[in-house]
């Protein structure tokens, strides 16, 4: 034992997660994250982000996602009034790509990659984000997700639904939308989660995330919001500062397996979570989110009981609306590292709804006497 460690042990120092660095295991990815909560006290002299613009026009004929606008390929959008799905004009995957040539060395391997990419607009208004939409409007988004998962999943083994919100997360258009990529292969994250969940069920006899949801519901120290069918937690192994995991309470393998009532309660808990995000730093909160469920295509005929449906939310903000967490240096070259414990974040999230609230015209129905955290935009009828 090194002298400094021996001295600490003799002094009887007790481990405190909020003060002492440690590593936590992520069973979904079978890797570790370094937690160094004391680092958040350091002064910040790094990059400061610009607050997101608040003057987004409700309709812009030059915006290719707006109703009636012309896209880059010359197609004219219909004057849609709800959700709108169309093929991505610049797809990362195409259904008819040729196969790579065979290579003569195992260090230079390639494999076919085919698929389709779609874009889904949530709403015709460019200035209306998901937390400001009405519950029926959010439910329509959930239904459209499930429909696309069913349609594309009939042919493709993986259908990735994801939303990048905010310029900070690489979103090039403020109009509320997501993307859906269906691929002929299981991507890396899907393969990791498939293997880890399969192993957990084999060893413990219960789906990993079903057991995890039950544990977190009882412990409550990382719980953000819950209802009868769903709960949102800051994962014990979270990497991003305000990362959350959205989990169903019952065993559900795929998004399209949800009942009508579960889809309603999903719309509700998504709205509550995203309002809390917006209230945290009084800004339209940036994030990348996505759904993970059991593979589809040929996997529909296989036993996928080890899978549990879930959604990841990865927001980059660290300590304010202008200070973000960068995944560089140690994170890129060694392993993931975070500057707040998930328990600290979970405790802070209990105050998210009171730090700022939205006004009477907004769907969260907060008291009108409390100042707005986000601009009031009355949802469409």
Q: Would you say 330 is a known binding-site residue?
A: yes
Q: Would you say 41 is a known binding-site residue?
A: yes
- 22 counts as catalytic: no
**Tokens representing residue 20 in the block:** 């002492």
Q: Would you say 175 is a known binding-site residue?
A: no
DSSP string over 141-162 = HHHHHHHHHHHHHTT-SEEEEE
Q: Would you say 335 is a known binding-site residue?
A: no
Q: Would you say 194 is a known binding-site residue?
A: no
Q: Would you say 211 is a known binding-site residue?
A: no
Q: Would you say 193 is a known binding-site residue?
A: yes
Dist CA 194 CA 349 (whole Å): 30
Beta strands in the chain (DSSP E): 22-26, 31-35, 84-87, 115-121, 158-165, 177-183, 223-226, 230-233, 244-248, 287-292, 310-314, 336-338
Q: Would you say 39 is a known binding-site residue?
A: yes
Dist CA 189 CA 30 (whole Å): 11
Q: Would you say 46 is a known binding-site residue?
A: no
Kindly state the DSSP code that residue 256 receives in the 8-state scheme: G
Dist CA 68 CA 253 (whole Å): 37
Q: Would you say 162 is a known binding-site residue?
A: no
22, 38, 105, 177: the catalytic one is: 177
**Tokens representing residue 73 in the block:** 């390929």
Q: Would you say 337 is a known binding-site residue?
A: yes
**In which region does residue 190 sit, left (phi positive, over 0), alpha (psi from -120 to 50) or beta (all else)?**
alpha
* Residue list for the binding site for UDP-alpha-D-glucose: 39-42, 72, 88-89, 164, 170-172, 179, 325-326, 330-331, 337
* Residue list for the binding site for Fe cation: 193, 292, 310, 312
* Residue list for the binding site: 39-42, 72, 88-89, 164, 170-172, 179, 193, 292, 310, 312, 325-326, 330-331, 337
Give the active site residues. Answer: 177
């Amino acid at each position: 034992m090194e002298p400094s460690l021996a001295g600490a042990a003799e002094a009887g120092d007790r481990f405190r997660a909020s003060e002492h660095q440690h590593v936590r295991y992520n069973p979904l990815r079978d890797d570790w994250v370094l937690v160094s909560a004391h680092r958040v006290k350091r002064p910040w002299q790094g990059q400061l982000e610009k607050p997101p613009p608040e003057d987004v026009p409700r309709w812009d004929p030059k915006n290719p996602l707006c109703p009636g606008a012309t896209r880059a390929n010359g197609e004219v959008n219909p004057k849609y009034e709800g959700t709108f799905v169309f093929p991505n004009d610049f797809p990362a995957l195409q259904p008819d790509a040729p196969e790579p040539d065979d290579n003569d060395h195992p260090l230079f391997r390639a494999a076919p990659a085919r698929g389709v990419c779609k874009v889904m607009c949530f709403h015709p208004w460019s200035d209306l984000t998901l937390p400001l939409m009405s519950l029926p409007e959010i439910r329509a988004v959930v239904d459209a997700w499930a429909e696309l998962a069913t349609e594309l999943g009939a042919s493709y083994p993986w259908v990735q639904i994801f939303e990048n919100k905010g310029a900070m997360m690489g979103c090039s258009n403020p109009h509320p939308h997501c993307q859906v990529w269906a691929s002929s292969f299981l991507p890396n994250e899907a393969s990791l989660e498939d293997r880890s969940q399969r192993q957990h069920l084999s060893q413990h006899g219960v789906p990993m995330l079903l057991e995890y949801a039950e544990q977190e519901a009882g412990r409550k120290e990382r719980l953000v919001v819950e209802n009868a069918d769903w709960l949102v937690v800051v994962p014990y192994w979270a990497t991003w500062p305000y990362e959350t995991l959205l989990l169903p309470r019952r065993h559900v393998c795929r998004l399209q397996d949800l009942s009508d009532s579960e889809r309603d309660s999903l719309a509700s808990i998504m709205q509550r979570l995203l309002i809390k995000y917006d209230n945290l730093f009084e800004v339209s909160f940036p994030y990348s989110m996505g759904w993970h469920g059991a593979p589809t295509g040929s996997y529909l005929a296989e036993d996928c009981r080890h899978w549990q449906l879930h959604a990841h939310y990865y927001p980059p903000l660290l300590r304010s609306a202008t200070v973000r967490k960068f995944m560089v240096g140690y994170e890129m070259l060694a392993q993931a590292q975070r500057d707040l414990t998930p328990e600290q974040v979970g405790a802070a999230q209990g105050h998210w709804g009171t730090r700022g609230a939205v006004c009477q015209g907004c769907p969260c129905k907060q008291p009108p006497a409390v100042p707005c955290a986000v601009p009031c935009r009355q949802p469409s009828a």
